[in-house]
Amino acid sequence: VQVGLFVKKYEVIKTIFQNDALPMMPKHKEAEGFAPTNIALCKYWGKRDRDINLPVTSSLSVTLPNKGSTTRLSMAEDGMDHIVLNGEKILDDSQFYLRTVDYLNLFRPRSNWHLNIDITMNIPVAAGLASSACGFASLLFALKNLFQWKLNKRELSILARLGSGSACRSIWNGFVEWHAGIRADGMDSFGEPLYYEWPGLVLGILTVNANIKPISSREAMQRTVDSSVLYTAWPKKVAQDLSIIKQSLRVRSFSLLCGTAESNALAMHATMLSSWPTICYYLPETIALMHQIWDLRRHGLQIFFTQDAGPNLKIFFLEKDEKFVRAHFPTIEVIPLFVK
């Protein structure tokens, strides 16, 4: 299975680099790359191809400026790759290590060529805050700088997708749509920036529990596709939501945009709950926060939430309401989405 998986990915690499220039030696001894994380307003949940991360549906996200991952690369001389995440050495039998090294294998010029990979993330790792999205995108940017590849952003988006699906949206700031594509080789499955600025749009992170989640999103989405009776409704829901979200960007309707995002996230979690064994990322505190948000909304505050593969909520509100929101959620981390 591993070999087959690599072959499919390598076909993509060959297409992108047009059969030449790989493998080649890096131009520098050290390099670094930064990629921001992104939060989906219309979620990616389910693959049509697990080897090269092709999604069942398109999705749409907004990037968190300055929140993400910085990857620093340097040559390792002792015959193996070393990974450090936020100052801590990653064990070489962990999932994180194996996935990162697997990705690196696609670009290794020689089998005895190894790297020190030093990753710093300024977001909680694996708590549903898209750490794999910015992690793989930042590794890719660092590799691009190390090898001095001349690739455009669409090509980088396709390469990032090979590491983690949602990483293909972390190539741009602002709103980004990931086109599902229909081709078997995935060359039409990439991110595209939607150039709508929205100064005043703010994201708040309500951290319920920053511990590692019980089931990875990769495993959870596969189980959903395989066993959820509600999954057949998901592509229909996404098609509707995508069209409404794009319309709300055009007419700049905050409640339409974020209301649709909230409904989309709830529907995604409904497909998970109907999987077997069930997948439940809700904690009691998550549900309590939802009720608090709905209550505040009933009282006129424009505030909406979204939830990913973890118990934390991200809320959307407008800058003018920040004081009020902070008063209700004292521990909130506030992130303006469009820095002036």
String of contacts with ligand 2P0 for each residue 127-146, x by CB under 6 A? ---x-xx-------------
Task: By CB under 6 A, tell whether 306 contacts ligand 2P0.
Answer: no
Stretch that binds ligand 2P0, among 161-169, 191-199, 297-305, 312-320 (CB under 6 A): 161-169
Site for ligand 2P0 in 183-222 (CB under 6 A): 217-218
Rounded CA gap, 144 and 159, in Å? 11
Residue 12: half-sphere exposure toward Cβ, Cα within 13 Å: 28
Cβ-based nearer residue to ligand 2P0, 99 or 302: 99
- Rg of the chain on CA atoms, in Å: 20
For residue 30, what are the β-bridge partners? 74
Q: What is the closest distance, in whole angstroms, from the C-beta atom of residue 219 to ligand 2P0 in the complex? A: 9
How far, in whole angstroms, is CA 313 from its chain's centroid? 15
Cβ-based nearer residue to ligand 2P0, 118 or 308: 308
Cβ-based nearer residue to ligand 2P0, 39 or 296: 39
Q: Can you tell me which of 12, 26, 36, 53 binds ligand 2P0, judged by CB under 6 A?
A: 53
Please list, in sequence order, all residues whose beta carbon lies within 8 angstroms of the beta carbon of residue 161, skipping any fewer than 6 positions away: 52, 53, 167, 168, 186, 189, 190
Please list, in sequence order, all residues whose beta carbon lies within 8 angstroms of the beta carbon of residue 336, skipping any fewer than 6 positions away: 65, 201, 202, 203, 319
Q: What is the closest distance, in whole angstroms, from the C-beta atom of residue 307 to ligand 2P0 in the complex? A: 8
Stretch that binds ligand 2P0, among 29-37, 41-49, 182-190, 328-336 (CB under 6 A): 41-49
Task: By CB under 6 A, tell whether 260 contacts ligand 2P0.
Answer: no
Position of minimal CB gap to ligand 2P0: 165
Stretch that binds ligand 2P0, among 22-30, 37-45, 86-94, 246-254 (CB under 6 A): 37-45
Number of neighbouring beta carbons within 10 Å of residue 235: 14
Cβ-based nearer residue to ligand 2P0, 26 or 224: 224
Q: Can you tell me which of 43, 67, 114, 237 binds ligand 2P0, judged by CB under 6 A?
A: 43
Mind giving me the DSSP string for 240-278? Answer: HHHHHHHHHHHHT-HHHHHHHHHHHHHHHHHHHHTSSS-
Q: What is the closest distance, in whole angstroms, from the C-beta atom of residue 201 to ligand 2P0 in the complex? A: 18
Q: Can you tell me which of 26, 33, 46, 165 binds ligand 2P0, judged by CB under 6 A?
A: 165
Task: By CB under 6 A, tell whether 44 contacts ligand 2P0.
Answer: yes
The one-letter code for the residue type at 326 is R
DSSP run (H or E) holding 286: helix 284-298
DSSP structure class, residue 85: E
Cβ-based nearer residue to ligand 2P0, 136 or 296: 136
Q: What is the closest distance, in whole angstroms, from the C-beta atom of residue 37 to ligand 2P0 in the complex? A: 10
Q: Can you tell me which of 73, 309, 313, 325 binds ligand 2P0, judged by CB under 6 A?
A: 309
Task: By CB under 6 A, tell whether 271 contacts ligand 2P0.
Answer: no
Extended beta strands in the chain, E state: 30-42, 47-49, 54-55, 59-76, 82-85, 88-89, 114-121, 175-178, 191-194, 201-206, 304-306, 313-318, 333-336
Task: By CB under 6 A, tell whether 308 contacts ligand 2P0.
Answer: yes
The one-letter code for the residue type at 29 is K
Locate all alpha helices (DSSP H) within 148-253, ordered by sequence.
153-163, 217-227, 234-251
Binding site for ligand 2P0 (CB under 6 A): 40, 43-45, 53, 59, 130, 132-133, 164-166, 217-218, 308-309
